[in-house]
Structure 1
Amino acid sequence: MSSPEKDASQVAVDQKSVGSVVEFKDPAQLEKRFSLWSTCALQYSLICSPLALGTFLSTVIGVGGSPVLIYGFILSATMSLIICCSLAELASAYPHSSAQVHWTYCLAPKAYKRVLSFASGILSCAGWIFACISSTYVASMFILALAQIYHPDYVPKNWHYYLVYVAIIVAGYLINVFFVVILPYMIDVLVAIINFATLFVIITLLIKSDPKQSAKFVFKNIINETGWSSNGVVFFLGLLPSIASVCLFDGAAHMTDEIAEPERNIPLVMVISNSVSAVVALFAAIVYMFCIVSMDNLSVPLGGQPIVQLMYDSFSSKTLTTIGVLCFIFTFVGSSFTYYTSTSRLIWSFSKSKGLPFGTYFGRVSQTLKTPVYALTFVTLICAILGTMIMGSSTALYAVLGSAMVCVNLSYVPPIMCLLTRSKFSMSPYVRFDNQDSSVAAVLKEGKSLPYFSLGKLGMPLNIISVLWICFIMIWLNFPIYYPVSTASMNYACVVLGCTGIFGLAVWLFYSAKHFDHDVDSKHIL
């Protein structure tokens, strides 16, 4: 039964009929500021694949070399796009800004709806927060790398990186809170910068680098400096750059409440932006490999960024290198701002369902600013706190950075598996998305009884491939890269995943078990 009406400036509270759960309905709403193409721009700028791939070059060199990067990227990008299509179909059938949380809740068996959707939400939130930290830290590295180009004697201290890191976070917070109305236009500019940067770096590398590597080096010679004797093991260890360069497919889905006709547009955004990213990144990877001038220099790159060292060695010009580095700075700083946007929408939506403590605050939208200020504040503070690892243990820091892909990919498994089990692994798209349970009805195209974006009979096999691939790469994303394994070379991503699980369990036991109840009809639509 709904509560009595209150003043519009207050938050109306509805007492639901399930237990003692109280749902807080926020009268403020997110505005539909984004179009199909501006949302594509946001998703594309989130991962900026062709440029992001350049940040992994030092890892690639010793872990399989160029062939592992090229062939591993083809395999990984193909599988990633299959996952993307599986999620796009779910986003079309069940459009919601909480994405995995909502999809899982709609599709899971009644007895497991709450716990599975909560688990998916915790993993997703953790993964996106880790991704925010990663993108911001990389941006700070590019800024200080530029300083090193002009001051070779300057050796950045850890606290220097942290100060730049915090400055980027604060700038992103201010833009997302007070200037969100211009964010779509900023994203359009960011995409233009990414495209210019990609063309500039690729063309200039092809023109200026001399001598270039041979086709044998690029496509055949495997370089194994990991200590593992099997090249097969090295091949899968070398997939991380590829996995991290075509990822975060749910980013667009978190913008569901800010785009018209999300059941049509969000799936298109996911498929278009990630497909373009994959194709352009593959071309960029081949060019990077051909244009490596000094292998040794990439092992200890300028400013800690191998792509900066590659440009410095190949361009033989401070001016050209400066232009290239500035492009990377604008790209990764701008990309960090879009990470805060998507992550805050996820936190906001998950909090509305009491998935996190203080959900009545994090789940609000400012009536004046029309943006989730509390969620943005939470993301800013948690990134600033976790970012203090920059000044401490590098092992812990890189474990957190590497855990972004682990947590986010794992969060995709529950909704896809629930769809498979709900439909009893049927190949019929009509069975997969029937509306027998009206409380979790899928949004279907009128007259076709299918989602606007439907995989048809390919849905079931593509879903199975997605789940199997995610489970498979979880092994390698947590696997030690170097052998023999020591405390210094250990891959601690599994430890971070375990800590995330413990945190999630604690939140569930002490708060969410009593309060979490996702409302499938909860939307902020104008």
Structure 2
Amino acid sequence: MKDAAFTDESQLAQLGHAQSFERQFSKWSMLGLAFAILNSWTALAASLSLALPSGGPIAVIWGLVTAGICNLSLAASLAEFLSAYPTAGGQYHWVAMISPPSLKRGLSWVTGWINLTGWVALVATNSSLASTLIINIISLEVPDYDFKRWHQFLLYLGITALTFVVNAFMIRLLPHINMFALVWSIAGFFIISIVVLATAAPDYATGEYVFATFINTTGWPDGIAWLLGLLQGGLGLTGFDAVAHMIEEIPNAAIEGPKIMIYCQYIGISTGFLFLIVLLFVSGGTANAQTIIESSSGPLLETFYIATSSKTGAVCLLIFPLICFCFAGIAVMTTSSRMTFAFARDGGLPLSYLWWRVHNGLSVPLNALYLNVFVVVIFGCIYLGSSVAFNAIIAASVVALGVSYGIPVALNMAQLRRKLPERVFALPEWLGWTVNTIGLVYTIVTTVLFLFPPAIPVDGTTMNYCIVAFAIIIIISTIQWIFDGRKNYEGPRITIDEVRRGSMVPDSV
């Protein structure tokens, strides 16, 4: 920055916090982390089971276009907030800064809990996707494999443990890991696309199948089914607020943060759109559609197998997205722990003084990592009781993050976009109103729809347990508010003096 008063540390100090982490991430390694979390082409491909039965290729392709426009609008909307308030608290901090005084504490509290829930659920989502791909490989290679839900639960736990170990003990390697994750993801995108197009030639699906075929096996009316299929696109493009929660670890935060938030959306939408078109063309079209939807190996691996006519070739190709999800899990755990750290720093969690401790030797919020792992294990227990746990965990992450995006945008619009202070990144008024409106409408619609069961009729094992997870979080946060928050939570607190003198219990503002 040109003026020393606006250096990263002084700007953070003006927001009430001391520098707790070294700013070791460059803008490129932070872009790597942001894209490792989105990994749009990988997430979209691995979650084909969400959209193929719920709209078919029309939902896959045009659902992504719809979700892309809406998520890009949300990203641009939040980039303004990030430029104005570059703090790891993200949405709950922004809400506190622009809310009317009478609503500040309550709205900030709710936003913080919802945002934190979304990030912890996203950790669970990545472990879920990675474990699903491993089960798919076993199912392809061993046709008589008798799948049990606890098999996947154990894989889920193992992948979660891996993400914890890397985050706890390899902090210095994280920027390099994220850079490699970006390279690996882009390389996988090109290698898989070239291989499947070459091996499937000339038996491609028709353009009509790829761009204009509708399939509905959910039991819902066609319109509802297509809207439910948006969950695939929503998953592939959510989590872009990662850079906000990591903003205290990059230089020139107010300038570079908003750019990274928007750039990762551009990369995600473009690679995801192209990759889904490739997959649909090499799938063989209508003749193979039902086989792909019902395959025990999963839609992605089955598509690879159809394209390559080789189990070995299909498995080798699947290794790219599998490792991408391991990288994504690491990056999401990093971000989620920083969100936990920030919210605890402001007194938003039970026993907050424990969760915002930074381990002296490891230089990481170790207790926040432990808390994340514990909650992710609880999320994973859904696997033991529901055959559609995959949908429930994904819906929980997408809905929670979406709501946390929508609250600050709605508040800003309600106050005629006049509450944000002068900032480096500011949208023209006409564009600001446009993207704010698109993003908010999308948030409202998807929040309602993604709580629906993925198919009907519904029983105890096929209901969408996302609503149960939210109910538990609401109960915990309400109890915490009654016994602690309403008395002590004031929104973002001044903690700079406490850090400087070594105290881990922040004073109230």
Change (3 A) 1:235 1:149: closer
Q: Does 1:413 align with 2:406?
A: yes
Alignment of 1:312-331 (within 5 A): 312-331=305-324
Residue identity in the other structure for 1:110: P
Residue identity in the other structure for 1:327: F
For residue 520 of structure 1, report the CA deviation from its aligned partner: 5.4
Alignment of 1:13-412 (within 5 A): 29-209=20-200, 211-229=203-221, 231-293=222-284, 294-303=288-297, 305-395=298-388, 398-412=391-405
For residue 488 of structure 1, report the CA deviation from its aligned partner: 4.8
Q: Deviations over 1:291-326 (max 9, x none)?
A: 1132233223344x3211111221112332232121
Alignment of 1:442-457 (within 5 A): 442=421, 450-457=422-429
Q: Deviations over 1:180-238 (max 9, x none)?
A: 10111011111111112111221112111252211111122211223334x33332122
Residue identity in the other structure for 1:365: V
Residue identity in the other structure for 1:91: L
Counterpart-to-counterpart distance in 2, 1:26 and 1:461: 33
Residue identity in the other structure for 1:420: M
Contact 2:128 2:390 in 1 (8 A): no
Counterpart-to-counterpart distance in 1, 2:481 and 2:52: 43
For residue 288 of structure 1, report the CA deviation from its aligned partner: 1.3
Contact 2:19 2:248 in 1 (8 A): no
Contact 1:252 1:269 in 2 (8 A): yes
For residue 394 of structure 1, report the CA deviation from its aligned partner: 2.9
Contact 1:302 1:308 in 2 (8 A): no
- Secondary structure of the equivalent of 1:453? coil
Structure 1 stretch 113-122 or stretch 513-522: which is displaced more?
A: 513-522
Residue identity in the other structure for 1:213: A
- Secondary structure of the equivalent of 1:223? coil
For residue 31 of structure 1, report the CA deviation from its aligned partner: 0.9
Q: Deviations over 1:146-172 (max 9, x none)?
A: 344443333343222222222222221
For residue 277 of structure 1, report the CA deviation from its aligned partner: 0.6
Residue identity in the other structure for 2:92: V
Counterpart-to-counterpart distance in 1, 2:224 and 2:489: 42
Residue identity in the other structure for 1:456: P
- Secondary structure of the equivalent of 2:380? helix
Contact 1:28 1:364 in 2 (8 A): no
Alignment of 1:510-521 (within 5 A): 510-519=483-492
Counterpart-to-counterpart distance in 2, 1:51 and 1:372: 29
Contact 2:67 2:230 in 1 (8 A): yes
**What is the match of residue 442 of structure 2?**
469
For residue 92 of structure 1, report the CA deviation from its aligned partner: 0.5
Residue identity in the other structure for 1:359: S
Counterpart-to-counterpart distance in 1, 2:88 and 2:314: 40
Structure 1 stretch 479-488 or stretch 401-410: which is displaced more?
A: 479-488
Contact 2:18 2:495 in 1 (8 A): no
Change (3 A) 1:171 1:224: closer
- Secondary structure of the equivalent of 1:393? coil
Counterpart-to-counterpart distance in 2, 1:388 and 1:74: 34
Using the aligned pairs only, state the percent identity.
26
Change (3 A) 1:411 1:83: same
Structure 1 stretch 376-385 or stretch 347-356: which is displaced more?
A: 376-385
- Secondary structure of the equivalent of 1:334? helix
**What is the match of residue 497 of structure 1?**
470
Contact 1:96 1:523 in 2 (8 A): no
For residue 404 of structure 1, report the CA deviation from its aligned partner: 0.9
For residue 398 of structure 1, report the CA deviation from its aligned partner: 3.7
Please point out which of 443, 452, 460 is paired with 1:479. Answer: 452
Q: How many residues align?
A: 479
Contact 2:86 2:254 in 1 (8 A): yes
Counterpart-to-counterpart distance in 2, 1:308 and 1:208: 15
Residue identity in the other structure for 2:274: F
Change (3 A) 1:80 1:483: same
Structure 1 stretch 379-388 or stretch 306-315: which is displaced more?
A: 379-388
Please point out which of 428, 432, 435 is paired with 1:459. Answer: 432
Q: Deviations over 1:315-347 (max 9, x none)?
A: 112332232121122111111111100000000
For residue 395 of structure 1, report the CA deviation from its aligned partner: 4.3
Q: Deviations over 1:439-483 (max 9, x none)?
A: xxx4xxxxxxx3111112122332233222211222221234434
Change (3 A) 1:259 1:28: closer
Contact 2:48 2:60 in 1 (8 A): no
Counterpart-to-counterpart distance in 2, 1:91 and 1:350: 16
Structure 1 stretch 289-298 or stretch 476-485: which is displaced more?
A: 476-485
For residue 522 of structure 1, report the CA deviation from its aligned partner: 4.7
Change (3 A) 1:520 1:85: farther
Structure 1 stretch 156-165 or stretch 503-512: which is displaced more?
A: 156-165
In the alignment, structure 2 segments of 5+ residues that lack a partner are 1-15, 501-509
* Moved beyond 6 Å, runs of 4+: 25-28, 523-526
- Secondary structure of the equivalent of 1:228? coil
RMSD: 2.3
**What is the match of residue 4 of structure 2?**
none
Residue identity in the other structure for 1:208: T
Counterpart-to-counterpart distance in 1, 2:382 and 2:343: 27
Counterpart-to-counterpart distance in 2, 1:250 and 1:216: 36
Counterpart-to-counterpart distance in 2, 1:395 and 1:320: 29
Counterpart-to-counterpart distance in 2, 1:232 and 1:219: 17
Counterpart-to-counterpart distance in 2, 1:352 and 1:266: 21
For residue 490 of structure 1, report the CA deviation from its aligned partner: 3.6
Change (3 A) 1:147 1:523: farther
